[in-house]
Amino acid sequence: MADKKNIKNIPLDDLAAQFKEMGLEGYRARQVQKWLFQKDAAGFDEMTNISKKFREILEQHYEIKRLTVLDKQCSVDGTIKYLLGLDDHEKIEAVLIPSEKRNTLCVSTQVGCAMGCAFCLTAQLGLKRNLNIHEIIEQVGVVRRELPERQALSNIVFMGMGEPLHNTKNLYPALAILLDPDCYNFSRQHITVSTAGLAPEIEKFGDLTPVKLAISLNATTDAVRDRIMPINKKYNLNSLITACHRMTLPKRNRITFEYVLLDGINDTMDDAKRLVKILATLKAKINLLPFNEHPRCAFKRPSEERVREFQKYLLDHGFVAVVRQSRGSDILGACGQLAGRGQSKK
């Protein structure tokens, strides 16, 4: 018999089609997915509302996989970084950021990343490969299993290793499973996908998923953005903002623009002024992230005073602009610090 298929890696429609090919009712695919994701079944024998014969067929053709937790690091601020092992011995990281009101999980979409952002440790790995659907959603499964029942995961952010819009083939089916009421049942308002700025993918984003989009902007001139985010050489600021205008935005949603403040690079008042002009015509919210310094990167964090001045200018010009305090930087779990320990550079 051929190798068993990883059933969590199969989108609902494809699973229904496979069942029909085997002479089974297609609607059973939803029933099985409910067991896999909502009830987190570890084996087909747990699927008690499915006939024994059907369970035997499932057993013959499919397997239920889980990711391995290789290590767990806890920050003084409560952030927990998970090192997860994949079947081919690659490693990824996911970060749980608990707060009073919510438990946010930051998930990865690739092993490494091809985008080459100058301030990011993941970039130093290069791109090794895309994560498949199962590997993306199972990060949620692993962490959910670890949490006490009353502390459910409330928010998912795609800001871990990799560029999500460089792996859309697996990102969109994974989002569908996270949103499906019979699977993980997350609210669309509680999921955010972050991109370095793949303009053609941004244009399509709002037509393919209702979740929120964040754009890692980080510069107000092409010269600086070319230097710190090489993707800008392909899709410059103008094409990025044009794509944002063309994107379908669900009612009440705004695009979040992430802006990592790097001392002496992108944190001047001229930058603040240009930022206001660049975003003037968009429904935008700005997250300011003072850089998390680390030994493998030469950038510095601006002074507290500089950060406040920058923020004040944006607020005075009518923007929602929030300074995000980084979490988990003592365990290299903060933004731009994920590197899948033990990974070799490509």
Catalytic residues: 93, 335
**Does 125 interact with ligand SF4 (rule: CB under 6 A)?**
no
**Does 113 interact with ligand SF4 (rule: CB under 6 A)?**
yes
**Judging by DSSP bridges, how do beta strands 110-112 and 127-130 pair with one another?**
antiparallel
323: helix, coil or strand? strand
CB 89 to ligand SF4: min, Å: 21
Residue of 89, 45, 48, 42 lying closest to 66 (CA atoms): 42
Q: State the residue for tokens 């099985």.
A: 32
CB 250 to ligand SF4: min, Å: 24
Q: State the residue for tokens 């994560």.
A: 131
Mark residues 133-162: x for contact with ligand SF4 by CB under 6 A, - for none.
Answer: ----------------------------xx
**Does 179 interact with ligand SF4 (rule: CB under 6 A)?**
no
> How many residues does the structure list for the chain?
346
Kindly tell me which residue out of 122, 139, 220, 292 binds ligand SF4, with binding defined by CB under 6 A. Answer: 122
Q: Which is nearer to ligand SF4, 108 or 209 (CB)?
A: 108
**Does 213 interact with ligand SF4 (rule: CB under 6 A)?**
no
Q: Report the chain's terminal Cα–Cα distance, integer Å.
A: 36
Q: Is 207 exposed, middle or buried (0-12, 13-18, 19+ CB in 10 A)?
A: exposed
Q: Which is nearer to ligand SF4, 83 or 161 (CB)?
A: 161
**Does 163 interact with ligand SF4 (rule: CB under 6 A)?**
yes
- Residues in contact with ligand SF4, counted by CB under 6 A, come to a total of 12
Say how far apart CA 148 and CA 152 lie, in whole Å.
Answer: 8
Q: Are 334 and 119 in contact (CB under 8 A)?
A: no
Q: For 95-119, give the DSSP string.
A: EEEE-SS-EEEE--SEEE-SS--TT
Q: Which is nearer to ligand SF4, 8 or 301 (CB)?
A: 301
Kindly tell me which residue out of 117, 156, 175, 262 binds ligand SF4, with binding defined by CB under 6 A. Answer: 117
CB 3 to ligand SF4: min, Å: 32
CB 297 to ligand SF4: min, Å: 11
Q: Which is nearer to ligand SF4, 140 or 161 (CB)?
A: 161
Give the phi and the psi of residue 83 in degrees, each rounded to 5: -100, 120
**Does 165 interact with ligand SF4 (rule: CB under 6 A)?**
no
**Does 297 interact with ligand SF4 (rule: CB under 6 A)?**
no
Q: Which is nearer to ligand SF4, 120 or 244 (CB)?
A: 120
Query: ∠ CA(131), CA(340), CA(266), 5° rounding?
Result: 95
**Does 336 interact with ligand SF4 (rule: CB under 6 A)?**
yes
Say how far apart CA 41 and CA 224 lie, in whole Å.
Answer: 49
Q: Which two tokens stand for residue 182?
A: 């019979």
Residues contributing to the site for ligand SF4 (CB under 6 A): 113, 115-117, 120, 122-123, 161-163, 196, 336
